[in-house]
Homo-oligomer: A and B are copies of this chain.
Amino acid sequence: MNAEILTVGTELLLGQIVDTNAAFIAERLAEAGIDVYFKTTVGDNPARIEAAVRQALGRAQVVLCTGGLGPTEDDLTRDVVAKVTGRPLRLNPTVLAQIQARFARRGIPMARNNERQAQVPEGAEVLENPRGTAPGLLLRMDPDRIVVLLPGVPAEMRPMLTEIVLPRLREVYGLKGRIRSRVLRTTGVSESKVDELLGDLWAERNPTIALLARSGEIHVRLTAKAEKEAELGHLLDGREAQVREQLGDIVFGRDEESLEVIVGRLLLARRLTLAVAESCTGGLVGHRITNVPGSSAYFDRGVVVYSNQAKTALLGVPAELIAAKGAVSAEVAAAMAEKMREGARVDLALAVTGIAGPTGGTPEKPVGLTYIALAHAGGVAAHEFRFFTDRDLNKQRAAQTALDLVRRHLLGLPSVPIL
């Protein structure tokens, strides 16, 4: 049993809005245990809407359409579905009265064409839309197929889907099965490496595994199916343990736990404080750290030392050291971290210095070369990295790697992944 999602609207084909409806519906269907194999978008063209609806009915039991329920001539979904399903449109007096009342309540005259929105295919169920004018429609078709028409406006569609349509689908199809996903977040290695490390786990079914590369992290999504809610958690726990066994310490968190949230939690638990001295990242590390509510408990200051003079003036890094080794060097990174730690009187200090690009690189010190140092009670260690040629990517990856260095230090792990 599977569903197809059909989003109608020329604005979608012009790329002027992003199709968030399709993603929302797909995710809700997945949670209900309903597989989606195809999503299609068509414009406000009757022939093409018809072709898409017919095709969908040919290969799916549930067809969910959004869009094209407005009052204008371009709003064709009702007409097309009536034609394809052989259920002629009839003016529904109750719906018409509701539309009239809605306009009256707002003190706005109802336009003639709003009457189109009271047209209902014979035998269709009207789905209430308290946030908009057009009701949704649900058609039952023999032997076991359903066509659902919902408004295109997300704020109207979403509650109708979750409050009316999904419960109806569960009821009609006797769906007991549930799907739940859990995402394990990793950082520090490439997607292909994670793929490789997962080895035999790829062949496992329920829960299945999928990889997603996102913002410098590799996310491992586990998806479990079960009849009972309680079983889902149990299945996911089992697979999570296996994945962590294979991937080791590159796994830093789950679902919404960003690296800064994890680092914050570790600092708090250990009652440790952190300060940052940033050059190429320009403030991004401090920004991420302070994204976490309550971060003032472990973070109270940072400096952005974007020039050589600033490194000396704000931190006390000797000008001679910078002249001798260059601002982008392990020695200067280490000095920045140590000086920050001493001056701020904190337990840990992070320093980042690198060549963000796109200019500024040389053969010896190319764009992307970055040094990140961490100073702590036991000393200071600077690490060299070679990131990218793109300025934004370099800043992002530097900040991410810096935060991971702190995490690894606090957990007693090797500074960088050893795999």
Tell me, yes or no, whether A43 is within 8 Å of chain B by CB.
yes
Tell me, yes or no, whether A181 is within 8 Å of chain B by CB.
yes
Tell me, yes or no, whether A162 is within 8 Å of chain B by CB.
no
Question: Which residues of chain B come closer than 8 Å to A22, judged between CB atoms?
Answer: 15, 18-19, 41
Tell me, yes or no, whether A206 is within 8 Å of chain B by CB.
no
A390 with B131: in contact, given A290-B282, A307-B300 (CB under 8 Å)? yes
Q: How far is the CA of A17 from the CA of B211 in the complex (A)?
A: 11
A202 with B283: in contact, given A23-B15, A41-B22, A114-B192 (CB under 8 Å)? no
Cβ contact within 8 Å between B196 and A112: yes
Question: Which residues of chain B come closer than 8 Å to A16, judged between CB atoms?
Answer: 23, 27, 181, 210, 212, 221
Tell me, yes or no, whether A242 is within 8 Å of chain B by CB.
no
Mark the stretch among A6-14, A76-84, A373-381 that contacts chain B: A6-14
Q: How far is the CA of A190 from the CA of B117 in the complex (A)?
A: 14
Instruction: With both chains docked as a complex, state the minimum distance between the C-beta of A22 and any C-beta of chain B, in angstroms.
Output: 7
Q: How far is the CA of A74 from the CA of B208 in the complex (A)?
A: 12
Q: How far is the CA of A358 from the CA of B293 in the complex (A)?
A: 7
Cβ contact within 8 Å between A27 and B15: yes
* Residue from B45, B107, B109, B190 within 8 A of A108 (CB atoms): B190
Question: Which residues of chain B come closer than 8 Å to A10, judged between CB atoms?
Answer: 210
| Interface of chain A residues 377 through 410 with chain B (CB within 8 A) | 386-393, 395
Cβ contact within 8 Å between B293 and A283: no
> Please, what's the 1-or-0 string for A137-174, where 1 marks a CB less than 8 Å from any CB in chain B?
00000000000000001010000000000000000000
Instruction: With both chains docked as a complex, state the minimum distance between the C-beta of A145 and any C-beta of chain B, in angstroms.
Output: 19
A304 with B282: in contact, given A22-B19, A111-B196, A386-B106 (CB under 8 Å)? no
Q: Decide if the interface of chain A is mainly helix, strand, loop or mixed.
A: mixed
Cβ contact within 8 Å between A286 and B304: yes
Q: How far is the CA of A10 from the CA of B121 in the complex (A)?
A: 34
Instruction: With both chains docked as a complex, state the minimum distance between the C-beta of A61 and any C-beta of chain B, in angstroms.
Output: 16
| Interface of chain A residues 288 through 316 with chain B (CB within 8 A) | 289-291, 293-296, 299-307, 309-310, 313-314
- Closest B-chain residue to A215, C-beta based? B155
Cβ contact within 8 Å between B305 and A304: no
Instruction: With both chains docked as a complex, state the minimum distance between the C-beta of A276 and any C-beta of chain B, in angstroms.
Output: 8
Instruction: With both chains docked as a complex, state the minimum distance between the C-beta of A135 and any C-beta of chain B, in angstroms.
Output: 15
Question: Which residues of chain B come closer than 8 Å to A12, judged between CB atoms?
Answer: 23, 26, 39
Question: Which residues of chain B come closer than 8 Å to A30, judged between CB atoms?
Answer: 13-15
Mark the stretch among A65-73, A88-96, A228-236, A264-272 that contacts chain B: A65-73
Cβ contact within 8 Å between A23 and B28: no
Question: Which residues of chain B come closer than 8 Å to A356, judged between CB atoms?
Answer: 290
Q: How far is the CA of A40 from the CA of B36 in the complex (A)?
A: 12
A41 with B39: in contact, given A30-B15, A281-B287, A300-B310 (CB under 8 Å)? yes
Q: How far is the CA of A22 from the CA of B10 in the complex (A)?
A: 13
Question: Which residues of chain B come closer than 8 Å to A299, judged between CB atoms?
Answer: 306
Binding site for B on A (CB under 8 A): 10-20, 22-30, 36-43, 45, 48, 52, 70-74, 105-114, 130-131, 153, 155, 181, 189-193, 195-196, 202, 210-213, 221, 223, 276, 278, 280-287, 289-291, 293-296, 299-307, 309-310, 313-314, 356-359, 386-393, 395
**CB-CB nearest 10 A-B residue pairs:** A15-B27, A283-B286, A282-B290, A283-B283, A15-B26, A302-B304, A300-B307, A111-B192, A39-B41, A301-B310
12 contacts between A and B (CB under 8 A): A12-B26, A14-B30, A16-B210, A37-B45, A38-B52, A70-B192, A72-B191, A280-B290, A282-B286, A283-B287, A294-B359, A303-B314
18 further interface pairs, Cβ-Cβ under 8 Å (given A14-B223, A283-B290): A15-B28, A15-B29, A18-B20, A18-B22, A19-B19, A38-B48, A70-B191, A109-B193, A276-B304, A278-B286, A284-B287, A286-B306, A287-B395, A294-B359, A296-B306, A299-B306, A300-B309, A302-B306
